[in-house]
Structure 1
């Protein structure tokens, strides 16, 4: 059975903006700095006061002559005007990006009068990288414009900030500070590189890109049969008909679509930062969603753990961004509810839908959810996203034995899932999930 070439891949957000809220730059925000005496002014005041007191006590003019320039410079510096507000404009070049994509953070600071110094310091989460220095300083200017090029290494919703503003009045008598929150940046998992997918065992009675086993309208040759009244003339196989003295027509395999649901286990998050089980699960789910949407299949998502989140299967580029937004919300979910697949809304898991379950297989409830899916007649593919096994502790004498028992229990669990007809895949560090290597025909006894 051959697979037709996939449709053009989904375009990134720059070409087709996802249906989410627009960018939220800070156009012309008036910021009121918190002004205080600078360290230089404090030192001049302290030194001048001590020298003046020393001259008075010692009744000598030398300390007074030393204190006079310091006090005069202090008075001149403190009398310099300072603006009450500073205008700050900050914006992101893109409100959404994929992992490791460059995003520009542009900041413009304007004051009503010349300032002694304008300093900008961009604080970033540890998931971000920046080209060049994070701090910018300009002296004796009225406005400053600076652009940082940053990139996010991890999916999620992040703020490229806060932005710390530091200004000084002319003469450096006063220093003002302020902190601003920048716009939120939505970082999507990396785009999928998968070009071929596993054909689900059960296909819908809807035109799609998968080749079914039954005859119907399509382009894949399936065989020949005798002519029946109503068959189009263009399907007549003239060489065979000439040899057999009877009309024969070509049959073609029907092209049908499928329902696919990505189930993400969020009950636990194990593993190193950036490569944890939740990170791999979200990236794998995004790969499955993007790959099957290229074939015009209906794709949905269900998240287990915390608040039950689900999105009914649908088609189109818009559905991809809706699913990713649902997955991004799983990280900030602080509630806890026991997952129960048996009580999912019917729209979340249509009958016969192919289910991809991304789980580390640590929580027993996730395994029960897989069993329940299989008992309800769904072909299930479990992707094991456990990236790190527990290490035995040298302080505990029985820790090594406990790890060995855990591994044996895990092997028993995987064997029981395989006996139920569940395909179990391990996460590949190079390709992630190899959808083209999965064969699902034995699971359900044949496709329609």
Structure 2
């Protein structure tokens, strides 16, 4: 049986500067009135002294000499999608003024705008996450004061972590796969067996199910006939993510333009959601050690496990990470590689997947603004700064030209490459693969 979490120490209320001034001025005015014989000073100091005495008596009657409970920080939801909002609640003692301040983090929006709010007893704020990952709420600075403003205390509450999962994008693409390899699922195979798609009507054989007897043909031919069907199979979808480096957009790109890591994570989430809803088994393998591997699974639980793994990824300082090699893959697996196609080791890994018999699709996650110098036509380039800043556009333009050779070689090898532009990015590739699966093939002699 787990023990309850330790309670934080109580807040010790300290006199405010207003209380000290009121007591000092009130006592000084009364003393001066008595010593100097000037009774007109009594009305000037008596209200301040009375306010100080009332505040002190109120504190004694409420039993606040030993301190008050520390306000509690809570959120209504720890897991939300990109663009979602979580309500942050700082609950203090009723009858006390509670002022809470939350520091603003990157890619978050606060409500109120500056993250500060005062309220009676409980302060409620809002945190909107605009980017996937871990979002830290806090440390929250809390100031507690009594109703008269005579005593106050302040403390920093430890931060809470919100888990922001990628947006639940639904792909506008078919669910057919080139090579179904399972024994049950949603994909129609060429093998006859238990299923719902009609293959042919044939004569009844011993062992056929009575429920599949075609009574219309039987009554017409005076001989038992049964319906033969195609089996429905599933497949294993392997999503390979390239997180070896995070490529940021060009300086002239619009604010909020996603980086290569953002595009990779969002594409991975959309592809996994698409095939898990179709009943397939989906696994995840990360080449850059940023996202832990997710074993193959199916159903809503697998979708939650995978999105949790994506949201736990942390953005580091942009250092280049070594590529982790995928040892083996089952023949016929649909492998979707989300990569900006800049690391030679990743290109080698794509070749290994093809050599193992996987059906490989490459999703290009390089930001479109990288290497695009069309926006610079007619505009003078900056001549100051370091050399890396002066030649940044030209260097990336040359790198994109070199990358075109890689894309052409992959396509010539039978590996389709499509750029990630949203939910409809994979539709042309999957339609072509589905058509290639059903197209006639030349028989080898």
TM-score w.r.t. the length of structure 1 is 0.74
Counterpart for residue 368 of structure 1: 348
Cα deviation code 1:300-353 (max 9, x no counterpart): 11112136731221112111111122222332578975223243xx5xx43332
| Aligned ranges 1:15-414 → 2 under 5 Å | 30=8, 32-33=10-11, 38-40=16-18, 81=59, 84-110=67-93, 115=96, 117-132=97-112, 134-138=115-119, 144-169=121-146, 172-194=149-171, 196-224=173-201, 228-232=205-209, 235=212, 249-272=226-249, 273=256, 275-306=258-289, 309-331=292-314, 338-343=322-327, 346=328, 349-387=329-367, 388-390=369-371, 394-395=382-383, 401-414=394-407
Q: Is contact 2:247–2:261 with CA below 8 Å preserved after alignment? A: yes
Describe the shift of the 1:110–1:29 C-alpha distance in structure 2 as closer, same or farther (beyond 3 A).
Answer: farther
Distance 1:102 1:329, change over 3 A: closer
Cα distance in 1, alignment partners of residues 269 and 199 from structure 2: 34
2:226 and 2:427 mapped to 1: Cα distance?
A: 38
Structure-2 separation of matches of 1:106 and 1:325: 24
3-state SS of the aligned residue for 1:86?
Answer: coil
Structure 1 unaligned regions, length at least 5 = 1-25
Q: Contact conserved, 1:198 with 1:435, CA < 8 A, in 2?
A: no
- Aligned residues: CA RMSD: 4.3
Structure 1 Cα separation of the partners of residues 283 and 168 of structure 2: 17
Partner of 1:7: none
The structure that is strand-richer by fraction is: 1
- TM-score, length-normalised on structure 2? 0.74
Distance 1:333 1:122, change over 3 A: closer
Unmatched runs of 5 consecutive residues or more in structure 2: 250-255, 374-380, 441-445
Q: How many pairs does the alignment contain?
A: 406
Structure 2 counterpart SS, 1:394 = coil
Three-state SS of the structure 2 residue aligned to 1:200 is coil
Equivalent residues of 2:18, 2:150 under 8 A apart:
yes
Shift of the 158–308 alpha-carbon distance from structure 1 to 2, 3 Å rule, reads closer
